[in-house]
Amino acid sequence: MTILVFGRTGQVAQELATYDGVISLDRAAADLEVPSACAAVIAAHAPAAVINAAAYTAVDKAEEDEPRATMINGETPGAMARACADLGIPFVSISTDYVFSGEGEIPWMPEDSTGPLGAYGRSKLAGEQAIQAAGGAYAILRTSWVVSAHGTNFVKTMLRLGAERDALTIVADQIGGPTPARDIAAACMTMVAQLATDPSKAGIYHFAGGPNVSWADFARQIFSLADLTCAVSDIPSSDYPTPATRPLNSRLDCTALETVFGIPRPDWRVGLKDIVKEVMG
Ligand SMILES: NC(=O)C1=CN([C@@H]2O[C@H](COP(=O)(O)OP(=O)(O)OC[C@H]3O[C@@H](n4cnc5c(N)ncnc54)[C@H](OP(=O)(O)O)[C@@H]3O)[C@@H](O)[C@H]2O)C=CC1
Ligand SMILES: Cc1cn([C@H]2C[C@H](O)[C@@H](COP(=O)(O)OP(=O)(O)O[C@H]3O[C@@H](C)C(=O)[C@@H](O)[C@H]3O)O2)c(=O)[nH]c1=O
Ligand SMILES: [Mg+2]
């Protein structure tokens, strides 16, 4: 069973590449700025399933580059979904907590109203809508705060800064679920297998690590596991100005994924241990 994966260098893409039967496409093989080319690659390979793990993920840069982010995150996933629907094969595409406004403290349900605060979130929401319009055996997997030993992420930034500095100020009013890329890859593989035999499972699902935590408390746990002495002071988001506004409430209710696919919410503290070990050597 061949599974075609868009993305090769990304955090989730690298974990997907460890599975037998996965063919990974880098930018040279499939440029997400060209929707028709990505659809043509799917038709040419005629795989058993497709997973889209490529995206424009530079949240701040997207503010001044929204047309490109919208092409990559909005238009192209729609074209991929239509190509998969035409072939009658499952399609899983990863989305984000940043499609939500971040109001309140209640974990977001997949069917809750969206309200992105920035260009990245808007572009990902456009992708979700295009995929849904295509129909077929699709799944949109919204995750959050992706971490791994590869690529750029908060854990790697903290391990670098924590070794250089005695103290850091970290936002404490954004709460969410850090999610190991390895767990996301495993979830995607389970989902394409089940969608192949039961397309009625199509829909939007949430998948994030638990327990929910603030970035500041997450940093403390990273430093503790890595034996780094770096004091963390809580600050409000207003003291850490960035071009794009981040949601305060990134909590995702992950019940539906467990009920429908039997995939439980992972404990990020388990995955974090492996990541710290892998990065520190
Ligand atoms: N990172 C996070 O915290 C979160 C991510 N997500 C979502 O999860 C998914 C995976 O994210 P993650 O693994 O962190 O992503 P990364 O930022 O680690 O990697 C992004 C991947 O997309 C590829 N890519 C970007 N632009 C193009 C293009 N024009 N053509 C082809 N490939 C392109 C990159 O290739 P190249 O190396 O060539 O640039 C890279 O392989 C994405 O859909 C993302 O939106 C959701 C929630 C949180
Ligand atoms: C480095 C640093 C960051 N921060 C804050 C800024 C930000 O609110 C938070 C996390 O920083 P990041 O740069 O990892 O945030 P960001 O790139 O916005 O992370 C997001 O990426 C996209 C792709 C997603 O889909 C989201 O789920 C989320 O993971 O930490 C501090 O408060 N102090 C610091 O010293
Ligand atoms: Mg980032």
Nearest CA to ligand 2 atom 4: 170
Q: What is the pLDDT of residues 256-269, one digit of tens each?
A: 999 999 999 999 99
For residue 239, is it within any domain? no
pTM assigned to the model = 0.98
What's the CA gap between 124 and 77, in Å, rounded? 9
What's the CA gap between 158 and 172, in Å, rounded? 15
Nearest CA to ligand 1 atom 23: 54
| pLDDT (mean) for 153-160 | 97
The domain that contains 148 carries what CATH number? Answer: 3.40.50.720
For residue 133, is it within any domain? yes
Give, for 59, the enclosing helix (H) or strand (E): none
CA of 153, closest atom in ligand 2 = 14
Half-sphere exposure (CA, 13 Å, Cβ side) for 226?
25
Q: How many domains does the chain have?
A: 1
Determine whether 31 is exposed, middle or buried from the number of CB atoms within 10 Å of its CB (0-12, 13-18, 19+): middle
Half-sphere exposure (CA, 13 Å, Cβ side) for 214?
17
For residue 215, is it within any domain? no
For residue 168, is it within any domain? no
Per DSSP, the residues of 178-209 read: -EEHHHHHHHHHHHHHHHHH-GGG-EEEE---
Q: What is the pLDDT of residues 186-211, one digit of tens each?
A: 999 999 999 999 999 999 999 999 99
For residue 127, is it within any domain? yes
The number of helix segments (H) and strand segments (E) in the chain equals 10, 12
For residue 224, is it within any domain? no
15 Cα to the center of ligand 1, angstroms: 13
Per DSSP, the residues of 241-278 read: --SSPPPSB--B--HHHHHHH--PPPBHHHHHHHHHHH
Nearest CA to ligand 1 atom 15: 10
What's the CA gap between 264 and 207, in Å, rounded? 8
Tokens of 249: 């409430």
For residue 184, is it within any domain? yes
Enumerate residues lining ligand 1, CB below 6 A. 7-13, 27, 31-33, 53-57, 72, 94, 96, 124, 143-146, 151, 181
Structure ipTM over 0.90, yes or no: yes
Q: What is the pLDDT of residues 103-115, one digit of tens each?
A: 999 999 999 999 9
For residue 77, is it within any domain? yes
What's the CA gap between 194 and 22, in Å, rounded? 17
**Going by C-beta distance under 8 Å and a sequence separation of 6 or more, which residues neighbour residue 23?**
2, 3, 4, 5, 45, 47
Q: What is the mean pLDDT of the chain?
A: 97
215 Cα to the center of ligand 2, angstroms: 8
What is the maximal distance between C-alpha atoms in the chain?
A: 56
What's the CA gap between 97 and 116, in Å, rounded? 9
Q: What is the pLDDT of residues 73-131, one digit of tens each?
A: 999 999 999 999 999 999 999 999 999 999 999 999 999 999 999 999 999 999 999 99
Peptide bond into 35 cis (omega under 30): no
Residue-range definition of the domain harbouring residue 257: 3-152+178-208+251-265
